[in-house]
């Protein structure tokens, strides 16, 4: 429905819930009952809180450099909710909400960004790949995984996330081309948050939209309001169903905004105005859901206060667990690289251990 009706070349964008909390009744997905919307809203509040906690920890030397999520909660939670738990997720590096909603424990996510190797060890049944730090490389992995699913006649699909900056990488074009030719069950989600560090979207591509790039590769591309939970869910669901039925890939451009700095090592005041950020704050994905729920009589200040209190306790517990986890020994650097270590790795490990022993004796 959305994939055919909305033309990216005409800049048509799918929106079901606007920034004032008004929705289009005829487009509201049937899955979005008040209870479900509340549950998804609570998840979004929770992940924003986790993100804020990570920032606090980083500023006090208890977390490494990381890429904050703030502003992209609807793009991630809406699309994840359209996936089955058996589907693969292949993230970039800003996907706290999507990855944890898909089964990565929040503690594990925190540990990864603390530099602890345990942070890369997911429970066995969690079908999420680790965060990809090299920009864009993950899209090729996603296409490979989805091709494997197709060849094995498995019904799972693969959803991969990346930013607007990643579309300038050769990897993006190779992945899109391969997916189009082999009709792989892949859903490409570009979170166009308007910047690649300090490079604005206007300097990234001369195309009017990112969604339209799919046309050249022979499959649909659709522009979606990425701050609209309902639209993100509805379009991802359609793309996922299409992929599952053998229809091939889809590119979704989630039009959104990174409200925080690129990473904790960035200062976004150097390249964007406060006025611009304030304008986007009005389009906050959490705020519009709050307004929607309020109109339905399902949101009150009392409910919000209780929610914040409960979630804060949960975040405190996670933080305690994370900080009580022992740092890893040097062995872990080598042990998780391959199922069977190579001779070269064994030699390097022995050498490093010997060097550290000598160092400690000094
Ligand atoms: C291959 C590669 N080149 C450069 C970098 C440095 N780098 C890290 S994030 C980033 C910008 C990514 O922008 P975008 O894809 O829009 O994602 P966003 O950070 O906005 O979520 C760059 C250039 C990198 N990590 N990998």
- Regarding the beta carbon of 150 and ligand 1, being less than 6 Å apart is answered no
What is the average pLDDT across 117-143? Answer: 96
Using CA atoms, how far apart are residues 235 and 248, in angstroms rounded to an integer? Answer: 15
Please report the pLDDT score of residue 328 as a whole number.
83
Using CA atoms, how far apart are residues 34 and 28, in angstroms rounded to an integer? Answer: 12
Question: Other C-beta atoms within 10 Å of 76: how many?
Answer: 32
Of ligand 1's listed atoms, the one at least distance from the Cα of 134 is 26
> What is the residue extent of each domain of the chain?
2-328, 329-362
Residues 191-223 pLDDT 10s: 999 999 999 999 999 999 999 999 999 999 999
102 a catalytic residue: no
Using alpha carbons, select from 102, 60, 97 the residue that is nearest to residue 323: 60
Q: Classify domain 2-328 by CATH number.
A: 3.40.50.970
Does the pLDDT at position 10 exceed 80?
yes
258 a catalytic residue: yes
Q: Which residues contact 211 (CB under 8 A, 6 or more apart)?
A: 8, 190, 221, 222, 223, 251, 252, 253
**Of the candidate ranges 139-148, 315-324, 327-336, the one whose mean pLDDT is the lowest:** 327-336
Of ligand 1's listed atoms, the one at least distance from the Cα of 72 is 21
Please report the pLDDT score of residue 40 as a whole number.
98
pTM equals 0.95
Using alpha carbons, select from 43, 41, 26, 143 the residue that is nearest to residue 90: 143
Residues 222-247 pLDDT 10s: 999 999 999 999 999 999 999 999 99
What is the average pLDDT across 325-348? Answer: 88
Using CA atoms, how far apart are residues 41 and 305, in angstroms rounded to an integer? Answer: 14
What is the average pLDDT across 306-314? Answer: 98
Residue with the smallest CA separation from ligand 1 atom 19 is 196
CB 107 within 8 A of CB 321: yes
Please report the pLDDT score of residue 334 as a whole number.
87
Of ligand 1's listed atoms, the one at least distance from the Cα of 137 is 1
Does the pLDDT at position 164 exceed 90?
yes
Average pLDDT, the chain: 96
Does the pLDDT at position 336 exceed 80?
no
- Regarding the beta carbon of 50 and ligand 1, being less than 6 Å apart is answered no
CA of 171 to the centre of ligand 1 (A): 13
Tokens of 228: 């609209």
Q: How many CA atoms lie within 13 A of 6 on its CB side?
A: 25
Chain centroid to Cα 189, Å, comes to 9
Does the pLDDT at position 159 exceed 80?
yes
CA of 112 to the centre of ligand 1 (A): 18
Using alpha carbons, select from 85, 27, 74, 50 the residue that is nearest to residue 257: 74
Please report the pLDDT score of residue 36 as a whole number.
98
Q: Which of 242, 262, 283, 288 is catalytic?
A: 262
In the structure, what pLDDT confidence band is assigned to residue 346 with cuts at 50, 70 and 90? very high
Using CA atoms, how far apart are residues 176 and 183, in angstroms rounded to an integer? Answer: 10
**Dihedral of alpha carbons 324, 132, 15, 37, sign:** negative
Of ligand 1's listed atoms, the one at least distance from the Cα of 94 is 21
Residues 249-283 pLDDT 10s: 999 999 999 999 999 999 999 999 999 999 999 99
What is the average pLDDT across 140-156? Answer: 97
Does the pLDDT at position 155 exceed 90?
yes
Q: Which of 258, 283, 288, 292 is catalytic?
A: 258
- Regarding the beta carbon of 134 and ligand 1, being less than 6 Å apart is answered yes
141 a catalytic residue: no
Residue with the smallest CA separation from ligand 1 atom 18 is 163
Does the pLDDT at position 338 exceed 90?
no
Does the pLDDT at position 360 exceed 90?
no
CA of 2 to the centre of ligand 1 (A): 30
CB 107 within 8 A of CB 322: yes
Does the pLDDT at position 333 exceed 90?
no
Mutate which of 93, 133, 137, 196 for ligand 1 pocket (most atoms within 8 A of beta carbon): 196
Q: Which residues contact 82 (CB under 8 A, 6 or more apart)?
A: 232, 233, 234, 236, 237, 240
């Amino acid at each position: 429905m959305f994939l055919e009706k909305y033309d990216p070349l005409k800049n048509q964008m799918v929106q079901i819930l606007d920034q004032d909390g008004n929705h289009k009744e005829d487009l509201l997905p049937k899955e979005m009952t008040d209870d479900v919307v509340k549950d998804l809203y609570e998840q979004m509040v929770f992940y924003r809180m986790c993100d804020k906690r990570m920032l606090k920890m980083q500023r006090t030397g208890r977390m490494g450099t990381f890429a904050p999520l703030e502003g992209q909660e609807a793009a991630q939670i809406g699309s994840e909710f359209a996936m089955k738990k058996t589907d693969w997720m292949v993230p970039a590096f800003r996907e706290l909400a999507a990855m944890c909603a898909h089964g990565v424990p929040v503690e594990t996510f925190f540990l990864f960004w603390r530099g602890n190797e345990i942070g890369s060890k997911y429970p066995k049944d969690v079908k999420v790949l680790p965060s990809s730090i090299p920009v864009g490389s993950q899209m090729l992995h996603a296409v490979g995984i989805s091709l494997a699913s197709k060849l094995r006649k498995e019904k799972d699909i693969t959803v991969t996330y990346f930013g607007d900056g990643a579309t300038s990488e050769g990897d993006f074009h190779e992945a899109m081309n391969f997916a189009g030719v082999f009709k792989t069950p892949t859903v490409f989600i570009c979170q166009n948050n308007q910047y690649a560090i300090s490079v604005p979207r206007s300097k990234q591509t001369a195309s009017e939209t990112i969604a339209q790039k799919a046309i050249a590769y022979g499959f649909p591309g659709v522009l979606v309001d990425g701050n609209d939970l309902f639209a993100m869910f509805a379009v991802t669901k359609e793309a996922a169903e299409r992929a599952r039925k053998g229809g091939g890939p889809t590119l979704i451009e989630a039009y959104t905004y990174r409200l925080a700095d690129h990473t904790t090592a960035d200062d976004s005041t150097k390249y964007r105005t406060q006025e611009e950020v304030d304008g986007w704050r009005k389009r906050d994905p959490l705020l519009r859901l709050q307004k929607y729920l309020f109109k339905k009589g399902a949101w009150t200040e009392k409910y919000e206060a209780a929610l914040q209190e409960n979630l804060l306790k949960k975040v405190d517990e996670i933080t305690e667990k994370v900080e009580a986890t022992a740092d890893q020994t040097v062995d872990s650097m080598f042990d998780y690289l391959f199922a069977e270590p190579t001779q070269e790795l064994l030699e390097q490990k022995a050498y490093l251990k010997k060097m550290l022993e000598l160092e400690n004796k000094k």
